[in-house]
Amino acid sequence: MTSLLSVESVDMRFGGVQALSDTNLKVDTGKITSLIGPNGAGKTTLFNVITGLLAPTSGRVYFKGWDITGLSVTRRSRLGIARTFQKLEAFNSLSARDNILVAAERRRRRDHSDHRRPADIADELLELIGLEDVSDITVGTLPTGTARLVELARALALTPTLLLLDEPSSGLNEEETKAVANLLRKIVSDDLAVFLVEHDMNLVMDISTEIYVLDFGELIAHGNPEETQSDPKVRAAYLGSH
């Protein structure tokens, strides 16, 4: 069986800097896969390559078996790839509800029996994530944590098959982080894969099924949380002794 997402020998060079070298990884539905690594390892770059914001120097990206390397950002999202950003990219001058609506109106229906209108989707998500109280507040004036949740809701409004989350817990307090963890566990299904970049290791170890570790643009480890935690190469990467 082919993986939902497979990144094959992706290289990304910026001038003289090798941001990603020969990166190979697979993400499957029904699982939470995490990508970790020290500062500057190339995690966000990989997300940008997967979503089409960056074109890789070489290598291919496959989604559901299709080669999507040449597709535009918009086309990829219509195929079912949704993401959030490390630095908030909410629509700041729109209300929380309108943020979700913009995405819901561009939603790709999963099957023909799904007749929910965009407004229904927005209301469902506001309730699911607990944003009813701020639904008509301009997102730019919300605290970071809440705005991040709006961004998450917006990504989910696309009813994606692959959800890429870039540091969903940053700016969130402990309680909100737990809520996000529970939410992610809840939404992962046969129809949805979650791919996570995260610095909060408690969160990563808690919810991930599979972890990839990236250091200086290279994948140095791959395994379940326990294996990753005890991997000496991973420890060395985080201590900074190469």
Q: Which of residues 94-123 bind another protein (CB under 8 A)?
A: 94-95, 98-99, 101-103, 105-108, 118
Select the span of 22-30, 59-67, 153-161, 179-187 touching another protein (CB under 8 A). Answer: 153-161
Considering the complex, what minimum distance in angstroms separates the CB of residue 151 from another protein? Answer: 8
Q: Write out the two tokens for 207.
A: 């919810």
Residue nearer to another protein on the CB measure, 24 or 92? 92
Under the criterion CB under 8 A, does residue 66 sit at the interface with another protein? Answer: no
Residue nearer to another protein on the CB measure, 82 or 183? 82
Under the criterion CB under 8 A, does residue 176 sit at the interface with another protein? Answer: no
Strands 32-36, 81-83: pairing is unpaired
Under the criterion CB under 8 A, does residue 65 sit at the interface with another protein? Answer: no
Under the criterion CB under 8 A, does residue 241 sit at the interface with another protein? Answer: yes
Strands 81-83, 218-223: pairing is unpaired
> What is the number of alpha carbons within 13 Å of residue 212 lying toward its C-beta?
21
Candidates 144, 182, 189, 224; binder of another protein (CB under 8 A) is: 144
**Of residues 192-231, those binding another protein (CB under 8 A):** 199-206, 228-229
Q: Which residues contact 155 (CB under 8 A, 6 or more apart)?
A: 82, 83, 84, 103, 163, 165
Tell me how far apart the alpha carbons of residues 216 and 234 are, in angstroms, rounded to a whole number: 12
Residues in the chain: 242
Residue nearer to another protein on the CB measure, 48 or 188? 48
What letter does residue 148 receive in the DSSP assignment? H
Under the criterion CB under 8 A, does residue 53 sit at the interface with another protein? Answer: yes
Under the criterion CB under 8 A, does residue 133 sit at the interface with another protein? Answer: no
- Amino acid symbol at 112: H
**Of residues 69-98, those binding another protein (CB under 8 A):** 72-74, 77-78, 82-83, 85-95, 98
Considering the complex, what minimum distance in angstroms separates the CB of residue 90 from another protein? Answer: 7
Residue nearer to another protein on the CB measure, 2 or 142? 142
Question: Exposure string (b/e) for 179-199, b if CB count within 10 Å is 16 or more?
Answer: ebbebbeeebeeebbbbbbbe
> What is the number of alpha carbons within 13 Å of residue 182 lying toward its C-beta?
9
Considering the complex, what minimum distance in angstroms separates the CB of residue 1 from another protein? Answer: 27
Residue nearer to another protein on the CB measure, 1 or 142? 142
Which one, of 8, 118, 110, 151, lies nearest residue 69 by Cα?
8
